[in-house]
A and B are shown apart, each in its own frame.
Chain A
Amino acid sequence: MASLVRAAFSVSKNSLISTSVRSISTTKQLNIKEIREKVEGGNIVVEAVNVPSPRTELLVRAENLGPLKTIDVSEAVKSDKAPCYMCSLGLDVKHTDVLILSQFVRSDGCMLPRRITGLCKRQQKKIGKMVSMAQKAGLMINLTPANCKKDPTKRKDYKKFNTYFDETTIFMKNVPRWTDRFKFRQSAK
């Protein structure tokens, strides 16, 4: 009942309030923008400046690298869709590869959503977990919120000591404890 009411409300609201005028343009309307703030005589001026993407020139794509030798068969062939750019590159990314992982985060260290990264679901999960591994290990300490102290040795309790992670545990349902040697050997294969 509640969903029916909500649906009826949204339909009526859209029909009444929404403007039928849509801007149509043949050229590109939206560009990558950078928000800039500056103070002009007591007023703060916030403007969005169109900038070219800083990454386009350095971009690496599998189709530009010649024949697809490096493709990771196990992850790509499962679905009949074309593999995403990360799958087709077939890189073995570890959580210590901060130069790669830092491309998928905002300046506060937050993982970008899938509609922006354009990864497949599995890669998004994998990269997201490795980003949090790198953050927990303190390897991307400059990409953290502004109130962070920017020094991993000044964290509290167990967080101040060095931690490394095992990437094979990313898609495990439950990570075995170090005492469960038999179970671990089974799941590792």
Chain B
Amino acid sequence: MKKFIKIYLEKPELAGLVFLIILTIVFQVQSDGIFLNSRNLQGILGILPEMGLVAIGVTLLMISGEFDLSVGSVFALTPMVMAVLLADGTPFVFAFGAGLLAAMAVGFVNGMLTVRFNIPSFITTLGMLFVARSITVVISGGFPPALPPGAMPKWLFTSFVGPGGMFRMSFLWFVLVAVLMTFLMSRTNFGNWVRATGGFLPAAKSMGIPTARVKVASFMICSVLAGFAGTIQVMRLGAPLPSIGEGMELQAVAAAVIGGTALTGGIGTILGGIIGAVLIRVIDNGLVLVQFDANWFKMALGGLTILAVIVNAWLRRKAKSIKVETDK
């Protein structure tokens, strides 16, 4: 037990993983084995990347000590920018790039406002939640623009691939991003700075880390990933609705927290955020499978989030009380 708790300090996603395994077993048993069959897995994996990409970005940002409540709106804005340009006859590459640039710009503004005026990002991004959503609706002209057929290379993003069409292409993109971001956070100096900035800002500053730039960069990464995720959803659905992504910001925070990310910054892993996102998809899907009223989804998600925070806080306290061994 001591050992487990000690490991927990380095791997805060452990509790989330345990939750995931337990729930998987419960759903598998309750659904008479349907839960883990290939058709159902295909369904889960098909939409996981959308939530997952958002969760990765939000997790990274939370490790740097900041929040982003505008990801749900960016999730809608990015594909809307792309769609409006596509409807106008712009080639896909440019339209897609413009969408991501818009996302990046939102992240930049979020970061600059937060850092320059020293306001809690909770507030700046709450404002941006409304601003970005509003822009989305305005540029859509009130109804989704009609996309020319074949304007989007669905084969590159949403078509089914792999054995038995197990995954969508988006899943491969998701895995690629997940690996890159994990690498960024754990192996690069930038990752070290993000963690230091969120872990203890005065120390990071006094060691000469450009903490303001680190935060702005984190906001931008978070925004771009949310925008990319939204773009994938629009390609899957085929139409750019201005209302997509509503409520996603809080689900993403829930995912990060369930995965062991601390609200105070400095603690957490990308893998944890992904585990959290998978858990959310699993609950959503599992409740339907076991023929539970789907309206319980939010109840389950809320309960799990609170439980995760309690368990994580408890484990952290316990782990801290076990002193490190020294030779002398």
Do the two shown chains form a genuine complex with each other? no
- By a beta-carbon cutoff of 8 Å, the part of chain B in contact with chain A is none
- By a beta-carbon cutoff of 8 Å, the part of chain A in contact with chain B is none
